[in-house]
Structure 1
Amino acid sequence: MITDGFLFLGVLLAMAGVIVYVERRKQYALFRYVPGFVMLYLGAAALNTAGVFGDSESIETVGSGVQDALLPAMILLLLFRCDVRKIVRLGPKLLLTFAVTAVSIVIGFIVSYLIFQGLLDEGSWRGLAALSASWTGGSANMVAVQGILEAPENIFGHVLIVDTIVYSLWLLVMFSSVAFSDRFNRWTKADTSHLDVHAAADTEDEARPIDLASLMTLIAFSLFVSAIAWQIGGVLPEIGIVVTGTTWTILIVSVLGLIIGSTRLGKTAGSTEVATIMLYVIIGIIASGSDFSSIAEAPLYLLAGLVVVIVHGLIMAIYAKLTRTELFSIAVASTANIGGVASAPVVAGAFNRQLVPVGVLFALIGAFGGTFVGLLTGQILAVL
């Protein structure tokens, strides 16, 4: 059992290094369908489930500290050379997609509650309403709705387990969907020309050599900005339960990243590579907290949660087919709702780093609206 934080981080980095080497050098067919970061997610989650990662203060401190440091830095680098004007040209359809995603999740909770209502605990609707706030906003929204509706502690404990497990599984599905985006887009007959413009912009960096100066500039600057953003975010006033220090930090690096994108610094070679390294570390840390053995503690609530995401997935697939929407918008909108501000930009970056602002925007919209959506869901479930 690993209880030392430094060893824990070393194991994750070693796993990531091996996976990246095999993926880039060996060209195995498996990686055409399962990206390397998905393999890392599965491997780290499996080790944690098997008890390799112990429950120690050292691991928690190192893991959360590294993740807090790298997440803003990664978002900043992913926003380098991002043309905001092209994002604006994507039009109102992105907002429609996000709205449909939130509505589909609410419908999923209604369908799931109707199926399991007679089997769940009395007052289970209160816990499910809190869970719906989390899946359309974030953990802060979940706690807020739990406090407002006074969900019983035992039920709230069950939905916390469901939140962790189903979120982990859904995040895995979203990461894996990157490999099937072309096939999905052909099925929906989606027009991806606006995404191709951003992808073409990435190729401009290929001609620029990555040297020590560029790597040092990117690493030092991004981590410095991350540290400053956390300091500023920590002293800015919190507004309600949604606008917290973390929210301010993500907003700061996002705005700064967009500004830098129009400067010469934004064209520094290697931003993609450095951001990708950070992406692997963050995914490994997130996955190391996934423990699928807790599935036995709340099987009915877990099934109810799975029904929610299945209904959500079906509705979004139908929506994509009818409106000819590409998989990127669907996946990022879904992750922004179910995952939140920490995972939506990561999934967006996995598809196309030029579109990270869409993930940030979606997640922030969800953070503001999740509480109200959760209360609305609770009101609907209460009268069923």
Structure 2
Amino acid sequence: MFVCYTLPALFSYFGVVDASESNIDDYVKAHFIPCSLFLLVMSTDFVTLRTVGGKILLMFFIGAIGVCIGGPISLWIGSILFPDQLLWEGRNATWRGMATLMANWLGGTANQLIVKEIHNVGDAAFAVMVTINVIFSGIWMAILLFIAKNQPIIDRFINADLKNAPIFIEDIKPSLDRRKRFLGLSLLILSLLFIFLFCHSFSEYISMILIDNFPILLQFNLGSTFFWSMFISTLLGLLLSMSYARHVFVKQVRFLSFFLLYFMIMNIGLNIEFTSFQSILYYFTVGLIWFFVHIIILFLFTLYFRLPIFYFAIASQCNIGGAASAPVVASAFNPNFASVAVLMAVLGYTWASFLASIIGHFMQYIHP
């Protein structure tokens, strides 16, 4: 992701590519992002997730709560420590950028792009948050891999109850006859075509109705066309994840969704402003406080339940790292747990955009 973002930024900075006259942003926003989110949600096996075990799922949810709580707390501390260094107004306000980072830590890059559009986040604030995410995710993953190598020592140190053994499962693809495969493929194609061709127009219609009849909802961004586009995409993805469509071309669907994501990141990189990195140290400090709130809350519950340290590590990485790196950390503890980590990480895509947009709305009231 970092390469997809920085290379186009360098091309734009040195004049190799000029994106100032391009209208591709609107096209990406209206078509690519909803399709990518739909495919990611649809490819998640929610039925299998129920068999994982309550404790690992509970720790994953606690980690998400830590991210939600840590955002407002760290911004409040930042308003005390750096009242003049952080931006509080405009499209590059700190709370807007932090809302996108929260979406990434709760879900993934798709959610970060969604919240960027919902809250109309400036490219400068977004660039800083992308950088913070890459740095923190990389360092934290290295630390968790170190923990994996020393798991027995750490479990003894925290007095973990080793009877809390994991439940290993595999995301098994069922055998589909020709009729079921045709039905699943038809549902997938029709839904994808609807989202690509008509979702934006249908969302505009819903938005106009709400604006005309319920203007009070505008302050919560519920009159946003983009918000309803994301809502429809997520809902359709959830419905199809419980149908035969989930088992048709699963790997290809995920490949296409990530291809669309990387394309969108490259497009954003063309509009990056390098002047946005001048105050990155202050934003980095706020992000570090936020990160520690998430870690402390998750670790305290690990101690309270006397869980082995791998519960803490996998739950945290499924939030912070996402679907790409979570199975790597999980495999370091036990290779059989990789599929569970992928399922939990992708699960965050379903709620990350909505939680981050709502909490971001309330974070705008935090200022010096």
Give TM class, smaller chain.
0.5 to 0.7
Distance 2:7 2:65 in 1: 34
Q: Is the 8 A contact 1:98 1:362 kept in 2?
A: no
Q: Is the 8 A contact 1:192 1:326 kept in 2?
A: no
Task: Give deviations 1:335-372, integer Å, cap 9, x for gaps.
Answer: 8xxxxxxxx89998996256533332133122223222
Please tell me whether residue 248 in structure 1 is matched to residue 219 in structure 2. Answer: no
2:193 maps to what in 1? 224
1:370 maps to what in 2? 360
Alpha-carbon distance, 1:297 to partner: 5.3
* CA spacing shift, 1:50–1:258, aligned 2, 3 Å: same
* CA spacing shift, 1:348–1:57, aligned 2, 3 Å: farther
1:97 maps to what in 2? 63
* Selected match of 2:16 from 52, 63, 68: 52
Task: Give deviations 1:221-252, integer Å, cap 9, x for gaps.
Answer: 34224234434333224432422333323222
1:322 maps to what in 2? 300
1:71 maps to what in 2? 36
Stretches of structure 1 that go unaligned for 5 or more consecutive residues are: 1-36, 144-158, 336-343
**Letter of the aligned partner of 1:365 in structure 2?**
L
Q: Is the 8 A contact 1:104 1:315 kept in 2?
A: yes
Please tell me whether residue 132 in structure 1 is matched to residue 95 in structure 2. Answer: yes
Q: Percent identity?
A: 11
* CA spacing shift, 1:140–1:312, aligned 2, 3 Å: same
Normalised by the length of structure 2, the TM-score is 0.63
Task: Give deviations 1:314-333, integer Å, cap 9, x for gaps.
Answer: 33333343334545644565
Distance 1:288 1:140 in 2: 14
Distance 2:44 2:348 in 1: 11
- How many residues in Structure 1 have an aligned counterpart in Structure 2? 308
* CA spacing shift, 1:323–1:242, aligned 2, 3 Å: same
Distance 2:286 2:118 in 1: 18
* CA spacing shift, 1:106–1:46, aligned 2, 3 Å: same
Give the SS at the match of 2:351: helix
1:234 maps to what in 2? 204
Deviates most, 238-247 or 214-223: 214-223
Deviates most, 75-84 or 302-311: 75-84
Deviates most, 82-91 or 256-265: 82-91
Distance 1:215 1:51 in 2: 46
Q: Is the 8 A contact 1:82 1:355 kept in 2?
A: no
Q: Is the 8 A contact 2:40 2:346 kept in 1?
A: yes
Distance 2:273 2:30 in 1: 25
Task: Give deviations 1:114-153, integer Å, cap 9, x for gaps.
Answer: 4434x549xx55569942255247457756xxxxxxxxxx
Distance 2:139 2:343 in 1: 16
Alpha-carbon distance, 1:279 to partner: 0.9
Normalised by the length of structure 1, the TM-score is 0.61
Distance 2:177 2:317 in 1: 31
* CA spacing shift, 1:216–1:129, aligned 2, 3 Å: closer
Distance 2:36 2:95 in 1: 25
Distance 1:347 1:221 in 2: 32
2:242 maps to what in 1? 262
* CA spacing shift, 1:47–1:66, aligned 2, 3 Å: farther
Stretches of structure 2 that go unaligned for 5 or more consecutive residues are: 101-114, 211-216, 303-310, 329-340
2:145 maps to what in 1? 183
